[in-house]
A = this chain, B = another copy of it.
Amino acid sequence: MLVYLFTDVGASPRELQILLREACDESLNCMSIDGDTSTNDTVLLLASGRSGVRVGARAKDVRVRKKFSAALTAVCQSLAEQIVSDGEGVQHVIRLSVEQARGREEALLVARTIAHSMLVKTAWAGADPNWGRILAAVGRCGVPIDPSRVQIFIGRQKVCGNGVAWVFNERQAHRSLAQPVCDIRVQLGRGQESVRFLTTDLTAEYVRINADYST
């Protein structure tokens, strides 16, 4: 991944670094196709200052800074979604929200364990609303979760309530998962922290592409 971002606002390298880090933590640092990583992932933000608008710590108007920060985050989120949807063999992008964690690291650990579970990812490939596999991944991630406090939503429907089966419309849940992009929400009942993590299904096409790749 090589991301180059250009803007004509003005800010010091240090100020830009802070803005970029915040934007990436909401986007490019919260996505994964298969858990494997590249050795040369790079994000650069270059600001010319030509517009005369300052967005750094010395910016006169804090609203301008906030507006720029929101725009930068939106660009990074759009790029993240484009990268993920362009993944090898990807048929479904999942916008995974992990909510009610004790802290950000905990929320990320839960999100990554779900997002990298081969059983969860193959269920998504089949548009199968198999919430048991999601709950099993949450259960093995290392965080001392109380299953009776866990809620899971697929699209707009709750499919698991207090750690057990919830009455839901399976056809509707299947339809939600069959879309190119589907929202899945997992509430842990432990705290206030949330993360939004972009990931994908695991398809037979992914295996074909990567098994046939020649060294």
Contact = CB atoms under 8 A, between A and B. Distances in A.
Contacts of A36: 117-119, 133, 136-137, 140
Interface string A106-150: 000000000011110011011011101100110110000000000
Contacts of A132: 215
A4 interface: no
A117 B33 CA distance: 12
Contacts of A137: 36
Contacts of A35: 116-118
Copies of chain A in the complex:
2
Interface residues of A, number: 35
B128 A214 contact: yes
A124 to B, nearest CB: 8
A73 to B, nearest CB: 26
A42 to B, nearest CB: 16
Nearest to A215: B130
Interface of A: 34-37, 39, 116-119, 122-123, 125-126, 128-130, 132-133, 136-137, 139-140, 170, 202-204, 206-208, 210-215
Given A36-B118, A122-B211, A122-B213, 9 more contacts: A36-B117, A118-B206, A123-B210, A129-B215, A130-B213, A132-B215, A202-B207, A203-B211, A204-B204
